[in-house]
Amino acid sequence: KDPEKAKKQNITIAASFGATKDVIFENSVTETLDPNYLIGSGDEIIVMLWGQTEFNQSYVVTKDGYLFIENIGQVFVNGLTLSRLEKKLFNLLKKVYSTLDASSGNATTYLDVSLGTLTLRPIRIHAVGEINNPGAYELKQSSTLFSSLFYFRGPSEIGTMRKIKLIRKGNVKATIDFYDYLLNGQRKNDIKIMTDDVVFIGPKGPVVSAFGEINRPAKYELKPDESLKDLIKMAGGLKSSTYTKRVKINRIVPSFERDALNADRIIIDISIDDITPSNESFKLIDGDEV
């Protein structure tokens, strides 16, 4: 195999973000809203009474954060959760509809408060670090840390895909490894995005090339604790035609070791058969070509 030709044919995993529409990986829009969702300007509130008194009306929160309800007047609702809003409206409405109040006997009118379809205000977050398009983004309510990456096209060429952080109010709320999804179909540690969250992508870790008699030749980013065995697994395993007695590793010698070795590049030969059955692992470093 021609190593140079093989490397040119490789496509880095980061290209997964390239021509992807940001809505493809969103969660279903029919899912319920976060119970901690804070009501704000433009939200639609539906107030319904049933039983002895029947009433069904929708209201839109004004830009100042108020609802205007007949027989009650202006009600400030900005920043309330749905449960707190329902409690507040109950205390106001029972003064008008006495059958709501169970303190004087059994209640014969019942209240339900819900959010209407207009409650689709986008979530505003910030994406910073080693990404292609840093800045502020408006995401859908159903967005998660995972799906948010497609809005700003993921990390840049020097950004990590193995340690993507969600920072909320100065604290790291979650960290995801995008390889879990690309290689195993799993979305571990994925959580919903909230307003003013920060998605931070740091610089990538060691990158190693794998080519030859292997199922998925490409460049792979490794975590500090990952070894040759992990690289082989990421690359889809060995082909049936692979000669396991000799794996060649072209290595750029780290600068602090060059004087001792009197070389800036070395070639290492290793047998996979010597490490696979045991707990031993062969460590790889940044720039290795396997």
Work out the pLDDT band at 95, boundaries 50, 70, 90.
confident
How much is the average pLDDT of 257-270? 88
Please give the pLDDT value at position 118.
Answer: 59
Q: Which residues have a Cβ under 8 Å from the Cβ of 35 and sit 6 or more positions away? A: 81, 82, 83
State how far the Cα of 26 lies from the Cα of 143, in Å rounded to an integer. Answer: 6
Q: Which two tokens stand for residue 4?
A: 């140079």
Which pLDDT does position 255 carry in this prediction?
87
Q: What is the mean pLDDT of residues 199-215?
A: 95
Cα angle 164, 153, 221; round to 5: 45
Q: Supply the pTM of this predicted model.
A: 0.66
pLDDT at 53: 85
Q: What is the mean pLDDT of residues 239-258?
A: 91
Strand partners, 114: 46
The pLDDT assigned to 7 comes to 44
Give the pairing type, strands 265-270 and 218-221. unpaired
- Compute the mean pLDDT over every residue in the chain, rounded to the nearest whole number: 83
pLDDT at 10: 40
Residues contacting 71, CB < 8 A, separation 6+: 96
Predicted pLDDT at 29 = 46
Q: Is residue 210 over pLDDT 90?
A: yes
For 42: left if phi > 0, alpha if psi spans -120 to 50, otherwise beta; the answer is left
Residues 17-31 pLDDT 10s: 544 455 445 554 445
Cα 11 from chain centroid? 23
Higher pLDDT, 176 or 35: 176
Rounded to whole angstroms, how far apart are CA atoms 247 and 238? 11
Determine the pLDDT at residue 70: 87
Q: Is the pLDDT of residue 68 over 80?
A: yes
Q: In sequence order, what are the residues at sequence separation of 6 or more whose Cβ sits closer than 8 angstroms to the Cβ of residue 149?
A: 17, 164, 178, 199
Number of other CB atoms surrounding residue 128 within 10 Å: 14
- Which whole-number Å values give the CA distances from 71 to 68, 88, 92, 97, 235, in the listed order? 9, 15, 10, 10, 68
User: Which range in 105-109, 111-115, 259-263, 265-269 is most confidently predicted, on average pLDDT?
Assistant: 265-269
User: Is residue 229 within 8 Å of 271, Cβ to Cβ?
Assistant: no
User: Does residue 281 surpass a pLDDT of 60?
Assistant: yes
Q: Are strands 247-252 and 207-210 parallel, antiparallel or unpaired?
A: unpaired
How do residues 111-156 score in pLDDT, each as one tens digit?
998 888 755 667 889 999 999 889 999 888 778 899 898 888 889 9
pLDDT in the model for residue 13: 43
Q: Coil, helix or strand for 175?
A: strand
CA geometry: angle at 181 spanning 231 and 33, to 5°?
160
Answer yes or no: is pLDDT of 102 > 50.
yes
Higher pLDDT, 76 or 150: 76
pLDDT exceeding 90 applies to what percent of the chain? 40
SS3 content of the chain, % helix, strand, coil (to 5): 20, 30, 50
CA torsion 242→2→223→227, rounded to 10°?
30
- pLDDT band at residue 282 using 50, 70 and 90 as cut-offs: confident
Q: Which residues pair with 48 in a beta bridge?
A: 56, 112
Q: How far apart are CA 17 and CA 11, in angstroms?
A: 12
Rounded Cα distance between 208 and 290, Å, is: 7
Whole-Å CA distances, 1 to 4, 133, 209, 220, 234: 9, 38, 15, 20, 21
Q: Which pLDDT band holds residue 34 (cuts at 50, 70, 90)? A: low
